A and B are shown apart, each in its own frame.
Chain A
Amino acid sequence: MLTFTNSHLLLGELDYVEPASVDEACALLAEHAGEARLLAGGTDLLVQLKLERAEARCLIGMRRLPELRRITGEDGLVLGAAATIRSIARSALVRGRYAALQEACEAFSTLQVMVMGTVGGNVCNASPAADTVPALLAFDARAGLRGRHGERAVPLDELFVGPGRTVLHADEMLESLRLAPVSAGTGSAFLKLGRVAADIAKVSVAVRLDREGEHIRDCRVALGAVAPTPVRSGEAERALRGQAPSAALVQDAARAAADEIRPITDVRSTAAYRRHAAGVLVQDAIRRAWARAGGREIR
């Protein structure tokens, strides 16, 4: 019996395998040379396969690799690539200390997608609007990659090449994301603007500030959906670093970020709107991060 009761099906033949180790997964990727894809939550990949925006003859499931789901606090924060968005949002290691990451995970689509989706999938899908990425950039995340020929760590801001494209080799997979340790004077925030609560971002911003007394010792300003990849604003960071926050300084940093980004006009927003909104979100995120860092109210 062949009845098509619905239209979004996976029409091609698919093989499915569940390797028992990361090495085995890499060997499978190499063996299927370009025809295999790693399947984590499936919320991006299966949609792309259904819409024929991606192709695969073989899917490599991550289910038998529990080590990839682990979240640990050794020397910072280490997220296994298959840690679900919901598990990160609820992790005691993340709460408070990595506030921007927690907020990014809470702003992530719907409950079902948070339950299924993984941080590694969100990163490797390489969407310019990926919710977790600005937050990960704010904490200097390094991507731990493993391939047939060994391991390497790539700073997250060097991982993305363009929309949907990363520097990963065909036989490589993302194993973990290592975030820098935070100190008592660290505060962070993530803000996202979408049309409705579960929507993809029109603009997103993550800010991390390290406070030393009345000054910003170090900082990160990262933005999503405003360039071909998620980006850091070096200019905004330069404006803030070493300074005591004031209303004027916050405005300067926001202007610097808005000038530096390269937003496009698409179905979700115009470039002009994105540029304006990015500036507003940067200001709000700086103020929030500073308050969380224990700083005095910015006037």
Chain B
Amino acid sequence: MRRMIRIRVNGEWRELSVAGNALLLNVLREDEGLTGTKYGCGIGECGACTVRIDGEPVLSCLTLAVAVDGCEVQTVEGLAVDGRLDPLQEAMLDTAAVQCGFCTPGMLMTARALLDETPAPSEQDVRDHMKGNLCRCTGYASIVRAVLEAANRDGGPEMAPKPPALGAPRRSRGAPRTP
């Protein structure tokens, strides 16, 4: 079975012919060339494939493409606007929350969903929301720090603790950067 679906990917409506057994992850990566979304475990354990569907963080490795017909899909490629990284991406760079980087797109999508819903999360909120995104490099501390820092920069109330100084000069907010 093949079927035509219409999905809005990062703001742009796309008409795609997909097989009944095609996973959203593979349609995004192979048909749409959006390889930012990662294949980690393929069975919903690691969160590397997280994208947002109608705003909700969802595992694209466990989502049939045919089942999101008509939906709004946001991938990590949709976070930057006009070449400006999302404050969350900036914060991840500034707090050295990226090592091998494989978990980063999933982390970003889950964290963005959290901040859209809870602009000033506590550290525990961040850890609860992101427990489904595994990272084997960082030990999570710098990732949690990045999300709290991004919440501060988003203009949320000064609830998140300030991250410790990192020595490196802070980049100015919102400066254009080549992704």
Among the listed A6, A7, A13, A46, which residue makes an inter-chain contact with B62, where contact means beta carbons less than 8 Å apart? A46
B89 to chain A, nearest CB (A): 20
| Inter-subunit contact A43/B59 (CB<8 Å) | yes
- Indicate if B81 sits at the interface (CB-CB under 8 A): no
| Inter-subunit contact A116/B26 (CB<8 Å) | no
- Indicate if B61 sits at the interface (CB-CB under 8 A): yes
A123 to B25, CA, bound (A): 27
Stretch from B35-43, B141-149, B151-159, B167-175 at the A interface: B35-43
A14 to B29, CA, bound (A): 20
- Indicate if B87 sits at the interface (CB-CB under 8 A): no
Instruction: Report how many residues on chain A are interfacial, defined by Cβ distance under 8 Å.
Output: 34
Stretch from A106-114, A152-160, A202-210, A219-227 at the B interface: A106-114
Q: Enumerate chain A residues within 8 angstroms of B44, measured Cβ to Cβ.
A: 43, 46-47, 112-113
Q: Enumerate chain B residues within 8 angstroms of A115, measured Cβ to Cβ.
A: 56-58
Among the listed A7, A111, A197, A198, which residue makes an inter-chain contact with B42, where contact means beta carbons less than 8 Å apart? A7
| Inter-subunit contact A112/B67 (CB<8 Å) | no
Task: Check A13/B132 contact, CB under 8 A, given A6-B39, A61-B67.
Answer: no
- Indicate if A165 sits at the interface (CB-CB under 8 A): no
Task: Check A16/B59 contact, CB under 8 A, given A111-B131, A198-B131.
Answer: no
| Inter-subunit contact A111/B132 (CB<8 Å) | yes
Q: Enumerate chain A residues within 8 angstroms of B66, measured Cβ to Cβ.
A: 16, 61
Task: Check A111/B130 contact, CB under 8 A, given A63-B67, A116-B59.
Answer: yes
Among the listed A16, A50, A112, A197, which residue makes an inter-chain contact with B110, where contact means beta carbons less than 8 Å apart? A112
Q: Enumerate chain B residues within 8 angstroms of A110, measured Cβ to Cβ.
A: 47, 131-133
| Inter-subunit contact B42/A10 (CB<8 Å) | no
Among the listed A10, A16, A111, A197, which residue makes an inter-chain contact with B3, where contact means beta carbons less than 8 Å apart? A16
| Inter-subunit contact A42/B62 (CB<8 Å) | yes
| Inter-subunit contact A51/B21 (CB<8 Å) | no
Q: Enumerate chain A residues within 8 angstroms of B67, measured Cβ to Cβ.
A: 16, 18, 39, 42, 61, 63
A9 to B1, CA, bound (A): 16
Among the listed B26, B47, B57, B63, which residue makes an inter-chain contact with A9, where contact means beta carbons less than 8 Å apart? B26
Among the listed B21, B39, B58, B128, which residue makes an inter-chain contact with A13, where contact means beta carbons less than 8 Å apart? B21
List, sorted by A's number, 27 A–B pairs whose CB atoms are closer than 8 Å: A5-B29, A6-B25, A6-B26, A6-B42, A6-B61, A8-B42, A9-B21, A9-B26, A9-B42, A10-B23, A13-B1, A14-B20, A16-B20, A16-B67, A46-B44, A50-B43, A51-B43, A61-B66, A111-B57, A111-B129, A111-B130, A111-B131, A112-B47, A112-B59, A112-B132, A113-B44, A116-B58
Which B positions have Cβ atoms within 8 angstroms of A? 1, 3, 19-23, 25-26, 29-30, 39, 41-44, 47, 50, 56-59, 61-64, 66-67, 110, 128-133
Given A8-B43, A112-B50, 7 more contacts at CB 8 Å? Answer: A9-B21, A14-B1, A16-B1, A16-B3, A42-B64, A59-B64, A113-B59
Which A positions have Cβ atoms within 8 angstroms of B? 1, 3, 5-16, 18, 39, 42-43, 46-47, 50-51, 59, 61, 63, 109-113, 115-116, 197-198
- 5 residue pairs, one from A and one from B, having the closest CB atoms: A110-B132, A8-B42, A10-B21, A6-B39, A14-B20
